Amino acid sequence: MPLVQVRIDDRLIHGQVVVGWRNVLKPERIVLCSDEVANSEWQRTIYMSAVTHDIEASVLTLEETIAYLTPETMDKERILLLVDTPKTIVDLVESGIPIQEVNIGGMHFRPGKNQIAPFIFVDDEDVENLRALYERGIALDGRDVPTRSSVDLAKVLKFYKDGLP
């Protein structure tokens, strides 16, 4: 069974994930993949406190995530994978993790980032990584909540073929 969702959201675990997406996708485990969060006991504790007791959750480094997401594990569990950047997805794909679709649910404003959708702000590195995923045949679903229509990120990325303005 493939991952039930691979989601880029710089807020990682929060209400849209725990309530909105979880109710639709029905994952058995949430895997938060972030070296920064996994290496900070304080951050790990904060994120894990947002997860209800009736679902399993793990906070793993990139290396631990790659080791965890074996075909056997993915056959046994319905997994919602959360990351905070497109680069992490590229790293996962390059390591052999089979990803068919990525939900871009929230990449929020930061200095140096430009808005390409109501909830997606990117810089040139983000565009490069999203384009790399698209060129590998990975679908890019720009949608913050399950009830919203998807943003056609392939079309948006074609517009930015020479980088951001």
60, part of any domain: yes
Q: Is the pLDDT of residue 162 over 70?
A: no
82, part of any domain: yes
The total number of residues shown for the chain amounts to 165
Q: Is the pLDDT of residue 26 over 80?
A: yes
Q: Is 110 buried (19+), middle (13-18) or exposed (0-12) by CB count in 10 A?
A: exposed
| Rounded Cα gap, residues 128 and 91, in angstroms | 13
pTM of the full predicted structure?
A: 0.92
164, part of any domain: no
- The mean pLDDT of 20-29, rounded to a whole number, is 91
User: Collapsing DSSP states into helix, strand and coil, what is residue 79?
Assistant: strand
94, part of any domain: yes
165, part of any domain: no
User: Collapsing DSSP states into helix, strand and coil, what is residue 164?
Assistant: coil
Q: Nearest-CA neighbor of 77 among 110, 13, 30, 20?
A: 30
Which residues constitute the domain of residue 26? 5-159
CATH code for the domain of 127: 3.40.35.10
Give the pLDDT confidence of 111-128 residue by residue, as tens digits.
Answer: 999 998 889 999 999 999
105 in the Ramachandran plot: left (φ > 0), alpha (ψ -120 to 50) or beta? alpha
58, part of any domain: yes
110, part of any domain: yes
Question: Residue 14 has what pLDDT?
Answer: 87
Give the pLDDT confidence of 97-112 residue by residue, as tens digits.
Answer: 999 999 999 999 999 9
135, part of any domain: yes
Q: Give catalytic residue positions.
A: 14
Q: Please report where in the chains the tokens 């993949």 appear, as a residue.
A: 33
Residue 137 pLDDT level (bands cut at 50, 70, 90): very high
Structural domains counted in the chain: 1
| Rounded Cα gap, residues 83 and 64, in angstroms | 13
The secondary structure of residue 11, as a DSSP letter, is T
